[in-house]
Structure 1
Amino acid sequence: MKQLFIKYKSVIRFILTFLLVYGVLSFAYKFYLQFSDGSKFYPDYMTHLVAKQSEALLDSFGYNAEVLPHPDEPSMKIIVNGRYLARVIEGCNAVSIIILFLSFIMAFSGKFKTTFFYILSGSVLIYSVNLLRIVFLTLGLYHYPKYEDVLHTVVFPAIIYGMVFLLWIFWVNRFSKLNKSNE
């Protein structure tokens, strides 16, 4: 048994680090959601911010966009040219995806400075692509409503998760300690 632990030490360390970082950050995020004050930023600050930034992007593309709190559920309604098209819920704000990304990078950490800047730049990239994802999904629903299911459940999740996967692969091959020890 001891030989197995020695042989798979790096795998065990990766799994434990990933689970620890993911667990702590997920718990902190759930705590944040539970105690966030929805009176000023409904339903929570991050979801509200993503909805408002999506509205601004839609406006910049020449559409008359409006974002309003949903009266029946904790979400923000996106209205384009008077048509209610989509809603931004907590799961749309990219925080959970960023936590997943960050946990993986920490589990394969490299030098502190490199790891820190990669996490920072990767998180900004994920957040930005997520905003564009929401905007293009909304525009897709506006122009091609019959493709709603394919756009929402296949195309746009594939884009965001595919990008995270590529960021992981780039990190492991370029910067992680694991790659440095194999050279």
Structure 2
Amino acid sequence: MKYLFRKYKNVIRFILTFLLVYVILSLTYKFYLEFSDGAKFYPDYMTHLVGRQTELLLSDFGYDVQVVPHPDEPSLKVIINTKYVARIVEGCNAVSVIILFISFIMAFSGRLKETLMYILSGSVMIYVVNLLRITVLTIGLYHYPWRQEVLHTVIFPAIIYGMVFFLWMIWVNYFVKLNRRND
């Protein structure tokens, strides 16, 4: 057994680090959601921010848009030309995806400065791609409402998770090359 632990030490360390960071960040986010001020920023600050930025992007694309609190559930209604098109819920704000991204990078971390810079820049990229994803999804739902299922459950999750996978692959290749140079 001791031999196996030594042999797979790096794999075990990766898994434990990933799980530890993921649990800590997820619990922190859960507490944030629990104690966020829904009266000021509905349903929570991050979802509210994504809603406002989506509204600005849709306006920039020339749509008459309103993003308003949903009266029956903790979400924001996206209304284009007086037509209720979509809702933005807490899961749309990309925080959970960013937590997953950060957990992987921390588990496969390199030097502190490069790791922190990559986490910051990758998180910003994920957030921006998510905003564009929501904006394009909303436009798609407005023009092609009969394509809702494929747009929402296949194409647009593939965009955000594809982005995360792409960033992971860049990091792994960068990190491996960095370690080879340092050996």
Give the TM-score of the pair, scaled to structure 2. Answer: 0.97
For the residue of structure 2 that corresponds to 1:175, the secondary structure is: helix
Residue identity opposite 1:126 in structure 2? I
Render the CA deviation track for 1:30-76: whole Å, top value 9, x for unaligned.
Answer: 00000111000000000000000000000000001100000000000
Taking the TM superposition and a 5 Å limit, the aligned residue runs for 1:20-169 are 20-169=20-169
Give the distance between the partners of 1:145 and 1:134, measured in 2 at CA: 15
Residues 1-24 of structure 1: CA deviation (Å, up to 9, x unaligned): 000000000000000000000000
1:180 aligns with 2:172: no
SS of the equivalent of 2:109 reads: coil
Q: Give distance in 2, aligned partners of 1:58 and 1:162.
A: 23
In the aligned structure 2, how far is the partner of 1:176 from the partner of 1:123? 21
Identity over the aligned pairs, expressed in percent? 70
2:10 matched to which residue of 1? 10
The aligned length equals 182
Distance 2:155 2:34 in 1: 31
Note the C-alpha offset of 1:180: 1.3
CA contact (8 A) 1:66 1:79 kept: yes
* TM-score of the aligned structures, taking structure 1 as reference length: 0.97
Distance 2:54 2:129 in 1: 11
Runs of 5+ in structure 1 lacking a partner? none
Q: How far does the alpha carbon of each residue in 1:78-131 deviate from its partner, in whole angstroms, 9 at most, with x for none?
A: 001111000000000000000000000000001111101100000000000000
Q: What letter is aligned with 2:35?
A: F
Once residues 111 and 39 of structure 1 are traced to their aligned partners in structure 2, the CA distance between those partners, rounded to angstroms, is 42
Structure 1: distance between partners of 2:17 and 2:180: 18
Query: Aligned-pair RMSD on alpha carbons?
Result: 1.3
List runs of 5+ in structure 2 lacking aligned partners.
none
